[in-house]
């Protein structure tokens, strides 16, 4: 599994997860939307920490500078 996420991409993903968490904790999102966005946030968080995105692999993209 070759890393394909650059540092900027990883930071943006992490910030997005924080924003979604804040929206959930303040009650802006709830119900089914909260569940769907929560699952999406977990996937984004894992890919951010691992540095690998399977979707990028599918499209042969990479934001990582070699």
21-45 pLDDT, tens per residue?
999 999 999 999 999 999 999 999 9
Helix/strand number for the chain, H first, E second: 3, 0
pTM, entire model: 0.86
Question: Do the Cβ atoms of 44 and 17 come closer than 8 Å?
Answer: yes
pLDDT of amino acid 66? 73
Contacts 24+ apart (CB under 8 A), 19-28: none
């Amino acid at each position: 599994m070759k890393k394909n996420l650059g540092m900027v991409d990883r930071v943006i993903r992490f910030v997005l997860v924080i924003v979604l968490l804040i929206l959930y904790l303040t009650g802006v999102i709830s119900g089914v939307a909260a569940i769907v966005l929560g699952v999406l946030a977990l996937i984004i968080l894992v890919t951010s920490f691992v540095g690998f995105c399977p979707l990028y692999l599918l499209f042969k993209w990479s934001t990582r500078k070699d």
